[in-house]
Structure 1
Amino acid sequence: MVSRVIPVDDFDLVIFGATGDLAHRKILPGLFRRFVAGQIPETSQIIGAARTQQDDAQFRDAVAAAIVEHAGVKKNDPRLVQFLKLLGYVAIDATGQGGWKELAGRMRADAIHAFYFSVAPSLFGDLAERLASHGMAHGDSRIVVEKPFGRDLASARALNQTLAQHFDEDQVYRIDHYLGKETVQNLMAVRFANILFEPLWNAQYVDHVQITVAETVGVVGRGSYYDKSGAIRDMVQNHMMQLLCLIAMEPPYHFDPDAVRDEKLKVIRALEPVEPADIVRGQYEGDDGAGSYLDDVGDPDSRTESYIAMKVRISNWRWQGTPFYLRTGKRLRARTSEIAITFKEPPHSIFDDTGAPKANELVIRLQPNEGMNLKVMIKEPGPGGMRLVQVPLDMSFADALGAEGQDMPDAYERLIMDVIRGNQTLFMRGDEVEAAWAWTDPIIDSWEDSKRRPEPYDAGSSGPEEALRLMHRDNRRWREIRA
């Protein structure tokens, strides 16, 4: 199988915060890989912008070092040498006037203009205002904004209103890198390009859905940020909400940005309020090799959760009565992200007790070893009667697609190319962000009012014992967390 690489049009991309970690670790290495793949025209410009005073040559040296480290190439690789010719740098004062005239002077009238805000959300408004005042917020320009997009409904609305003063909604790309993952996009392909699953994709046949995003790392090094956010703001309100929407949404009339996002918005608006008894919050404790959450954030009184598990219900015809179980946490047993759709057992078994059929299960692995696994019942080989055994029909992208499955584009690569194309399908719309916060805010408010501490759990475990009981009381079990 040969993948098609479709070049994008000539563009000028400005990366605000170009000296930061995200730019060096993800954005610039991703752009290099797209350049090597032949997707970026050699006439394009990539302009770094930040407070640091440096010239083009110094910026190129720093980017070269980052690409060598994160993209696995040698410093003298001719492809890297060629890519660095696209780069330039302007020292910018985000809240003042320094550097803006020079930046405007570098932008070409005949190229697509894109501006990546890889900075703190507090600077979004200042950047948007200065782009507009210096004539760079015209109709064909677009801006990319990173999460967190607000920390509650009020701040999200304020950010939306600020950006709307200078850019139309179809110019604003709210990026969630989870939506750029190959397997996440395959959720839509599996559902809507195959008649096999869609007739069964409802409460009549699905017993429950589990969405798990587990990490082995703690918050050391970013504790000051994380302690103000917690698992619900850092993961549930955005990444996991997007996965939930893609699983639960109705078929859009077309694979079109607003058609897809309209259906996702309907799911969020159909979410029932979550009862306190259906939520478990946790904080990891330390072990011999590392500190506890409280150690990592430097606050012995912190009530911020590093783990959350919850039972969510959707009030619509398709999903009424089918629970969705979400869990995510730091310092867990393994790094894994997956969605498991457990179907109901057959209504009647014609086999004896030793061969009772088990429920079918479709597991979509997002990371690591991206792929899908469908568990079905078959007869156990050999004589001795009809004995049933559950076996997996396992498909990993690496095996099924060969070299292409092993070298899939990073999520940021795909999403940035979509920005240049002007395709907003995999980006969040303003009303979608606000609806997600409207559902999340009451949950957070109830925690703050109760002042309850999160449940402790051992680093390297599956999470708090209370999370196990959340499932056990429904006569269900969490899937094992394993890589």
Structure 2
Amino acid sequence: MTGFTADRLLLFGATGDLSKRMLLPSLCALDAEGLLDPRIRIVGTARSDLDDAAFRNFAREALEQFLPADRRGGMATFLNRLSYQPLDASQTEGFDDLAAKVGEPSEGLAIFLSTAPSLFEPTIRGLKASGLAGEKVRIGLEKPLGTDLASSRTINDAVASAFPEERIFRIDHYLGKETVQNLLALRFANALFEPLWNAAHIDHVQITVAETVGLESRVAYYDDSGALRDMVQNHMLQLLALVAMEPPVRYEATEVRDEKVKVLRSLRPVGPEEVVTGQYRSGAIAGKAVPGYDDELGKNSDTETFVAIKAHLDCWRWKGVPFYLRTGKRLPRRTTEIIIQFKPIPHSIFSGRGARTVPNRLVIGIQPSEDIQLTLMAKVPGLDRDGLRLRPVPLDIAMAGAFSGPQRRIAYERLLLDLIEGDQTLFVRRDEVEAQWDWVDKIRGLWGEQGQEPRTYTAGSWGPSAAIALAERNGVTWHE
């Protein structure tokens, strides 16, 4: 914790889509439960020319659209916390008016910065010049934090010129999801798993982040980014780090992030035969025809909308265990899941009776449903006159059903509250970000050297057939 609970929150990009769908609903829900400091004031800023009343109307419409009615208790009280100051972040002179609107906090100020990468440097300059970067100020940074290692360092250097690392909170919203946090509880609070969580017992790991949507409103950003930088560089590598990290000494920010960065630094550079890219063409999702990427974009492009990678960690615990990463747009279903595939038993005592065993598998579902499933071998009931039969039986834990009391939360609720209170455990440190970019940049460099272009795949399929072959060369089948 960094010493103070902020009683001012400044939201950049306050009229944008993220604010409307996630930030304002999260803050209202926290306020309804009494989790926000009663003194807190929330100031929104963006280019939109609004006054306080217009911004409150904007917020009310967002809450009515994106926050369930049973979580809107005391909405009027929350709306009265809001005020607004228009700002062109590229112009330093507007920051003095913003500072006047924020006022002098009693305890401290938390800033949530969601802006285009090109605006990071002028925004930080404006915050410094206007006195909004003092010792009682911490800043949360929403991605994208650059497009490669060099641009990421430029942004981080700019932020570091005004804020020390202990007051910088880099946001990856996947870390706010309950099941992602439960990875650590699953591993380190259960004697059942940790002794088996290594190369001696695990055959491989799969991490899939699949989307059914296409470009939607992200046309310009996505075509400049692609699946590797949009999903793998941040969300998927953070999931990999949580799966593979060594036990931290304690559940605190420094210790947890120290172990994650060790994993990221142990990632072996990917070879040309270990990565497949794709771009979707017209097809059907849930029985509805959808256009191809080039049709949606309105031009030809070599941006990948799908990537599959066979990754390796050069470390003691995971030597020889492949980590299969797969993400893409216009896939058959929306899902984010982690598969821990255990090795077969060394010898089956049942084979002489005709029974076949299947290795145990742990499936950790992150979205759309948060659940954990462990498959165990069990005997099929019967007298066995025709031979013994075994079958994998799933043990399911649906997180929503296991805990009837707590609400299912928006991931940003936890992250915003931690930003306000100063807990960095679920935020990404600079050395993590740079280790992630270093690995991803090497993959992009490989594509350039090989002249690799995305293979096509039909919307509604699981990507190019080469992605299936990537796993099947090692006898692995993607979990679908």
TM above 0.5: yes
SS in 2 for 1:195: coil
Deviations 1:124-144 (A, max 9, x none): 121211111111211121111
Structural mapping, 1:174-193, within 5 Å: 174-193=170-189
Residue aligning to 2:330: 331
Deviations 1:329-380 (A, max 9, x none): 0000000010010000000111126312110011100012211000000111
Match among 201, 205, 208 for residue 209 of structure 1: 205
Residue aligning to 2:11: 15
Structure 2 residues not aligned, in runs of 5+: none
SS in 2 for 1:294: helix
Aligned equivalents of 1:194, 1:211: Cα separation in 2: 22
| Residue 451 (structure 1) shift | 2.8
Residue aligning to 2:390: 388
Deviations 1:116-169 (A, max 9, x none): 111112111212111111112111211111111111111111111111111101
Residue aligning to 2:459: 459
| Contact 1:68 1:74 (8 Å CA) reproduced | no
Aligned equivalents of 2:282, 2:161: Cα separation in 1: 47
Residue aligning to 1:244: 240
| Residue 446 (structure 1) shift | 1.7
Residue aligning to 1:5: none
Structural mapping, 1:367-382, within 5 Å: 367-382=367-382
Residue aligning to 2:424: 424
Deviations 1:82-119 (A, max 9, x none): 11010001112212244422322232331320111111
SS in 2 for 1:48: strand
SS in 2 for 1:38: coil
SS in 2 for 1:373: strand
Residue aligning to 2:351: 352
| Contact 2:337 2:365 (8 Å CA) reproduced | yes
Aligned equivalents of 1:157, 1:441: Cα separation in 2: 13
| Residue 391 (structure 1) shift | 0.2
Residue aligning to 2:86: 91
| Contact 1:230 1:306 (8 Å CA) reproduced | yes
Aligned equivalents of 1:197, 1:229: Cα separation in 2: 37
Deviations 1:425-465 (A, max 9, x none): 11111111111111111110121233332111111111111
| Count of aligned positions | 469
Aligned equivalents of 1:78, 1:170: Cα separation in 2: 34
Percent of aligned pairs with the same amino acid: 48
TM-score (norm 1): 0.94
Residue aligning to 2:138: 142
2:216 pairs with 1:220: yes
Partner letter of residue 367 of structure 2?
Q
SS in 2 for 1:144: strand
Structural mapping, 1:89-128, within 5 Å: 89-105=84-100, 106-128=102-124
Aligned equivalents of 1:10, 1:276: Cα separation in 2: 48
| Residue 73 (structure 1) shift | 3.2
Residue aligning to 2:471: 471
Aligned equivalents of 2:74, 2:105: Cα separation in 1: 27
TM-score (norm 2): 0.95
Residue aligning to 1:306: 305
Alpha-carbon spacing, 1:228–1:55, altered in 2? closer, same or farther (3 Å): same
SS in 2 for 1:202: coil
Aligned equivalents of 1:63, 1:116: Cα separation in 2: 17
Aligned equivalents of 1:59, 1:312: Cα separation in 2: 46
Residue aligning to 1:4: none
Aligned equivalents of 2:216, 2:59: Cα separation in 1: 26
Structural mapping, 1:36-75, within 5 Å: 36-73=32-69
Partner letter of residue 408 of structure 2?
M
SS in 1 for 2:74: helix
Aligned equivalents of 1:151, 1:328: Cα separation in 2: 18
| Contact 2:312 2:320 (8 Å CA) reproduced | yes
Aligned equivalents of 1:142, 1:417: Cα separation in 2: 13
